[in-house]
Chain A
Amino acid sequence: MAEQPSGAPRAADADFDRLNRDWYIDKAVQLLVFIGGISAIVFIIGIFVFISREGFGFLFGAFDFREFFFSPNWRPTSETKETYGILALIAGTASVTGLAMLIAIPFSLGAAIFIAEFASGKTREFLKITVELLAAIPSVVWGFIGLAIMNPIIIKTFNVPVGLNVLNAGVILGLMAAPIMTSIAEDALKAVPDRYREAAEAMGATRWQVIWKVVLPAAKNGLLGAVLLGVGRGFGETMAVLMATGHSINIPTSVFDSVRALTATIAAELGETAAGSTHYQALFTIGIFLFVVTFVINLAADLVVRGVRKG
């Protein structure tokens, strides 16, 4: 028999064109991973479908567009007339998120610039790890911090009767969102090619001039994406806001007012409702609203950040 290069005798010229076990296994794996691949799409659609399913009764029943979006009266358990206006809730979410961004944006930008442009070696490593660990703290722990630590501090420092308010939740949310925003902003700054910096320095610019005039403008897409992501996070945050904002449903006029956020309302009231009741369905409708808003914000953030990776 003819000998083969490996030393084993060569089989008779059997046809190689048979569909064997390996071929079938490969096809099966292809199918399985495809199912895995589309699962994300299935789940996103599924989320929308199932929350709509529970909320539809309200949407096609007691829902009144003008009342829902423009009335601050959220009184689903009223004995006289139930009203389902979420304006105050939107104001609660917006005020807390707004304050949080006011705090988080400058600090995370500053920290990002420091880490990306000035820190090096061990310091940089240490800071990046710290930021990563900070981002991992669960939201219920942040809520607890707002309740147990920030609350007494606010009462004592500002001499107000209640420490669970926009200020408390805003600071907490700011501290929560800042690490993630810092990471993304730092990525955006690092993505600016070194040759931009080198060109500016060759012209005699100082470090801060390079950053201010060259790096920041070049990274603005990524930085904007970081901000959007922070806003999205603030909008969707549940536990921390639930525990730190107090329980009054009203449009806030000062940072010391207690408010209620959209997310917190669902969390606080769902357990008390009967499945299928109008109140229950209205809460699901708030969920639909939250889903759509955060979907849009995250879509925008991704489009903006994607622009950075390509450029």
Chain B
Amino acid sequence: MVKLGVRDLAIRYGGAKALEGVSFDVHENEIFGIIGPANAGKTSFLKAVNRMDLFDPAMHVDGEITFNGVNVHKVRNVYGLRRRIGVVFPLPVGLPLSIYDNVALAPRLAGVRARAELDVIVERCLQRAALWDEVKDRLNSLGSMLSGGQQQRLTIARALSQDPEMLMLDEFSIAVDPVTTMRIEDVLKELKREVTIILVTNLVQQARRLADRTAFFLEGRCVEVGETEALFNDGVQDPRTRDYIEGRFG
């Protein structure tokens, strides 16, 4: 089943083109990787998916993105759309609330009030984000005062607490140490049974480890999309993709 459909997507900031002619599908319960050098339009793509372009008056989006078959541009309740999609950005953000309240925020917004229920959700999400053991005794301390790596895992816990249908991670491992990165990668492999995952990464090998299918973005265009194994094992269609994968630029 197609979770996210993209047709002729074009994004520009004022007069500057960030993305053009992008088309592909993301299937349900797969990990879809997006690789490519900086400024290739990867982050802009993510912003367009959950309509964060509404907060940037300079950003214009043309083309069509459908989520569960619904065109995201025709959605009336944009907040409902965003609740179904969890996002993790490169820079970790711990909200200036207690760790507990950080993770309980999304469920509370969704109407969950019972303390017992929230307790369960908070523990489960922190476990999944590989953070529970480190913070279980200080759930009341400020989330914004944790270390960078901890805040990133807190961000992931928050994203999980939304019960998202789709999870988008944008270079999540930049602020995180390699051991924690491994733990999170294991979590993602588990998660894909319940959640569709889009993984934007500049670590080509990470895409190889995790992604079922991978897209290569270069200079505002989607050059190629294919089965990850094929891309890494000489099934590449476009020479630029091979050059990037083999580290000749980027």
Direct contact of A and B (CB under 8 A): yes
Residues of chain A at the chain B interface (Cβ within 8 Å): 2-8, 10, 13, 15-20, 22-23, 26
B76 touches A7 (CB 8 A): no
A13-B68 contact in complex given A6-B161, A22-B79, A23-B77, C-beta closer than 8 Å: yes
Instruction: Give a binary string over B153-190; 1 marks a CB under 8 Å from any A CB, 0 the rest.
Output: 00000001101100000000000000000000000000
Is there a chain A Cβ closer than 8 Å to B2's Cβ? Answer: no
For the complex, is B191 an interface residue (Cβ under 8 Å from A)? yes
24 A-B pairs (CB sep. < 8 Å):
A3-B194, A5-B124, A5-B160, A5-B161, A5-B164, A6-B107, A6-B124, A6-B161, A6-B163, A7-B121, A8-B117, A8-B163, A10-B163, A16-B77, A16-B83, A16-B84, A17-B75, A17-B76, A17-B81, A18-B80, A19-B77, A20-B80, A22-B109, A23-B79
Give the Cβ gap from A118 to chain B, nearest Cβ, in Å. Answer: 37
Instruction: Report if B42 contacts A (CB, 8 A).
Output: no
Q: How many A-B contacts if CB must be within 8 Å?
A: 52
Q: Which of B75, B76, B77, B117 has the most CB of A within 10 A?
A: B77
B52 on the A face (CB < 8 A): no
Q: How far is the CB of B115 from chain A (nearest CB, A)?
A: 15
A4 proximity list for chain B (CB < 8 A): 163, 194
Does B213 sit at the interface, judged by CB under 8 A?
no
B218 close to chain A: CB less than 8 A: no
B77 and A5 form a contact (CB under 8 A)? no
Contact B76 A19 (CB under 8 A): yes
A17-B70, A17-B75 known; A6 vs B80 contact (CB < 8 Å): no
Nearest first, the 10 A-B pairs at minimum CB distance are A16-B80, A7-B124, A4-B163, A5-B160, A6-B121, A6-B163, A17-B75, A17-B77, A23-B77, A19-B77
Instruction: Count how many chain B residues have C-beta atoms less than 8 Å from C-beta atoms of the other chain.
Output: 25
- Tell me how far the C-beta of B178 lies from the nearest C-beta in chain A, rounded to whole angstroms: 24
CB-nearest residue of chain B relative to A4? B163
User: Which residues of chain A are within 8 angstroms of B76 by Cβ–Cβ distance?
Assistant: 17, 19
Which residues in A have their C-beta under 8 angstroms from that of B124? 5-7
Chain A residues, CB < 8 A from B81: 16-17
Q: With A13-B68, A16-B84, A17-B70 in contact, do A5 and B79 touch (Cβ < 8 Å)?
A: no
Q: How far is the CB of B218 from chain A (nearest CB, A)?
A: 32
Closest CB in chain B relative to A200 CB, distance in Å = 38
New contact pairs (15) apart from A2-B194, A5-B194, CB-CB < 8 Å: A4-B194, A5-B125, A5-B128, A5-B161, A5-B195, A6-B107, A6-B124, A13-B68, A16-B77, A16-B81, A16-B84, A17-B75, A17-B76, A23-B77, A23-B79
Q: Are B77 and A20 in contact (CB under 8 A)?
A: yes
Query: Which residues does chain A contribute within 8 Å of B109, judged by CB atoms?
Result: 22
Residue on A nearest B67 in the bound complex, by CB: A16
Closest chain A CB from B177 CB (angstroms): 23
Residues of B close to A15: CB separation below 8 A: 70
Known: A20-B77, A23-B79. A5 touches B191 (CB 8 A): yes
Nearest CB in chain B: distance from A170 CB, A: 51
Provide the bound-state CA to CA distance between A20 and B109, in Å.
12
User: Is B120 in the interface zone, CB < 8 Å from A?
Assistant: yes
A-contacting residues, B117-166, CB 8 Å:
117, 120-121, 124-125, 128, 160-161, 163-164
**CB neighbours of A17 from chain B (8 A):** 70, 75-77, 80-81
Closest to B191 in A: A5
Question: Which B residues touch A19, using CB under 8 A?
Answer: 76-77
Q: Nearest Cβ in chain B — how far from A2, in angstroms?
A: 7
- Chain B residues contacting A3 (CB-CB under 8 Å) are 194
Q: Which residue of B lies closest to A13 (CB)?
A: B68
Closest residue of chain A to B163 (Cβ to Cβ) is A4
- Given A17-B75, A23-B77, A23-B79, verify A6-B84 contact (CB < 8 Å): no
Compute how far the CA of A17 lies from the CA of B81 in the bound complex, rounded to whole angstroms: 7
Q: How far in angstroms is the closest Cβ of chain A from B49?
A: 14
For A23, list chain B residues within 8 Å (CB). Answer: 77, 79
- Tell me how far the C-beta of B113 lies from the nearest C-beta in chain A, rounded to whole angstroms: 14
Docked-complex contact A5 and B70, CB < 8 angstroms: no
> Distance (Å) between the CB of A102 and the closest chain B CB?
49
Q: Which residue of chain B lies nearest to A23 when distances are taken between CB atoms in the complex?
A: B77
Q: How far is the CB of B70 from chain A (nearest CB, A)?
A: 7
Chain A nearest CB, measured from B71 CB (Å): 10
A22 to B124, CA, bound (A): 26
| Alpha-carbon gap, A63 to B117, bound state (A) | 77
Q: What's the Cα separation between A270 and B100 when bound, in Å?
A: 62
Quote the shortest CB–CB distance from A10 to chain B (angstroms).
Answer: 7
For B160, the closest partner residue in chain A by CB is A5
The answer for the CA separation of A5 and B125 in the assembled complex, in Å, is 7
CA distance A6 to B127 in the complex (A): 10
**B residues in contact with A6, CB < 8 Å:** 107, 121, 124-125, 160-161, 163
